[in-house]
């Protein structure tokens, strides 16, 4: 009956995302009076697996099968379904990131388990099992009831605080039945940037819009990001113009992010842009136009020229960082 939580590792290491998920799962397990079982697929060492215990996993099932090195949605879903059945798990948790979005709906159809995606907190009530999520691109919240016996939740990123429980989990190595013909997709090529903070993962994001005037003015944005350990982002016209790469485009039709701090330099704050960033804990806006809608969404604002404010901000941040 335990709560099953699907964790993700990057080259054998867990990131904050997985700890958030385990904390969340273990909070729900507490509400349901049961235990938390974390599933890990990939080659992850025991000491790394044990870290999941710190955030509340009672048991860890580790699957390291060479056939599963690449994400094949169908095969991964089959493995998780097998584990859910083996554990008798009726509540299964994923992140609402790319991988969770790829797997959770498949599993939902396979198990006939009602699914709420992008939940922002633990269930408000257990009976009925009610979750809250954002709808209409952040313009409203909906409460959704899962009526089926099996239930799946994907948790919105950066929406649940880590809880330390310091459990000593049991670790089970499990070899599922993965037949060769189950895996139908293959990877031909991988391009990966290294050394850059990943936008959807970043605690701080520094973003620029058309008000930055030219791609040549992005130096200070990158510098500020660098000293804050932040990721860089942009508005849609900026990526459409080719000033910045497409993977930096945030908003309704780009990436949806929820960092602790979002800087908007020369971004007007169109409703479609806000749809991607309004879950940020704090928003700072710098814009020459005091009527710009971004100031309605922002917590702190400077009415002024971004190109002048940026260098001063960089030196002020450097000063406090070095003190």
Ligand X SMILES: Cc1cc2nc3c(=O)[nH]c(=O)nc-3n(C[C@H](O)[C@H](O)[C@H](O)COP(=O)(O)OP(=O)(O)OC[C@H]3O[C@@H](n4cnc5c(N)ncnc54)[C@H](O)[C@@H]3O)c2cc1C
Examine residue 301 and tell whether it contacts ligand X (CB under 6 A). Answer: no
**Nearest residue to 248 via CA among 212, 240, 213:** 240
Examine residue 4 and tell whether it contacts ligand X (CB under 6 A). Answer: no
> What residue 105 binds from ligand X, another protein, none (CB within 5 to 8 A, per partner kind)?
another protein
Examine residue 306 and tell whether it contacts ligand X (CB under 6 A). Answer: yes
Residue that the structure tokens 């404010």 belong to: 309
Examine residue 220 and tell whether it contacts ligand X (CB under 6 A). Answer: no
Query: Could you tell me the two tokens for 307?
Result: 């190109």
> What residue 210 binds from another protein, ligand X, none (CB within 5 to 8 A, per partner kind)?
ligand X
Q: Reduce the DSSP state of residue 69 to 3 states and report it.
A: coil
> What residue 37 binds from ligand X, another protein, none (CB within 5 to 8 A, per partner kind)?
none
Q: Reduce the DSSP state of residue 63 to 3 states and report it.
A: strand
The residue within the footprint of ligand X, chosen from 40, 103, 287, 295 (CB under 6 A), is 287
Query: Could you tell me the two tokens for 177?
Result: 């039945």
Q: What gap in Å lies between CA 298 and CA 280, rounded to an integer?
A: 10
**Nearest residue to 276 via CA among 265, 288, 264, 287:** 264
Examine residue 232 and tell whether it contacts ligand X (CB under 6 A). Answer: no
Closest to ligand X by CB, 169 vs 254, is 254
Q: Reduce the DSSP state of residue 306 to 3 states and report it.
A: helix
Residues 6 or more apart in contact with residue 207 via CB below 8 angstroms = 221, 232, 233, 234, 235, 248, 250, 262, 263, 264, 265, 267, 277
Pairing of β 170-173 and β 151-155: unpaired
Q: 17-36 mask for ligand X (x: CB under 6 A)?
A: --------------------
Ranges within 198-217 binding another protein (CB under 8 A): 198, 200-201, 203-204
Please choose, out of 82-90, 157-165, 213-221, 310-318, the segment that lies near another protein by the rule CB under 8 A: 310-318
The residue within the footprint of another protein, chosen from 184, 216, 291, 322 (CB under 8 A), is 184
> What residue 122 binds from another protein, ligand X, none (CB within 5 to 8 A, per partner kind)?
none
Residues 6 or more apart in contact with residue 215 via CB below 8 angstroms = 241, 242, 243, 244
Q: Reduce the DSSP state of residue 202 to 3 states and report it.
A: coil
Ranges within 224-283 binding another protein (CB under 8 A): 228, 240, 246-247, 249, 252-254, 260-261, 271-272, 275, 281-282
* Residue numbers at the binding site for ligand X (CB under 6 A): 209-211, 235-238, 251-254, 266-268, 270, 272-273, 276, 286-289, 292, 305-307
């Amino acid at each position: 009956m335990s709560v099953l939580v699907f964790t993700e590792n990057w080259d054998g290491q867990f990131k904050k995302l997985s700890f958030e998920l385990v904390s969340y799962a273990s909070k729900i397990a507490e509400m349901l009076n049961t235990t938390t079982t974390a599933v890990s697929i990939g080659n992850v060492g025991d000491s790394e697996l044990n870290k999941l215990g710190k955030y509340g996993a009672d048991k860890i099932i580790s699957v390291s099968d060479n056939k599963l090195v690449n994400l094949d949605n169908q095969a991964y879903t089959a493995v998780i379904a097998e584990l859910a059945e083996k554990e008798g798990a009726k509540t299964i948790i994923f992140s609402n990131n790319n991988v969770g979005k790829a797997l959770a709906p498949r599993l939902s159809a396979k198990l006939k388990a009602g699914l709420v995606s992008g939940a922002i907190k633990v269930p408000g009530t257990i009976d009925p099992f009610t979750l809250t999520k954002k709808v209409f691109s952040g313009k409203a919240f909906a409460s959704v009831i899962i009526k089926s016996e099996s239930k799946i939740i994907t948790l919105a990123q950066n929406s649940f605080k880590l809880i330390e429980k310091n459990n000593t989990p049991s670790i089970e190595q499990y070899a599922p039945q993965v037949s060769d013909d189950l895996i139908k997709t293959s990877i031909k090529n991988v391009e990966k940037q290294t050394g850059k903070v990943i936008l959807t993962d970043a605690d701080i994001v520094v973003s620029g819009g058309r008000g930055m005037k030219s791609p040549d003015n992005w130096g200070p944005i990158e510098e500020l990001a660098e000293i804050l350990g932040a990721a860089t982002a942009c508005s849609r016209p900026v990526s459409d113009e080719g000033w910045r790469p497409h993977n930096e485009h945030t908003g309704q039709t780009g990436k949806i992010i929820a960092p602790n701090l979002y800087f908007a330099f020369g971004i007007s704050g169109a409703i479609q842009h806000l749809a991607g960033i309004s879950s940020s804990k704090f928003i700072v806006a710098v814009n020459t136009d005091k009527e710009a809608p971004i100031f309605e969404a922002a917590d702190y604002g400077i009415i002024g020229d971004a190109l002048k404010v940026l260098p001063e901000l960089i030196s002020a941040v450097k000063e406090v960082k070095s003190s």
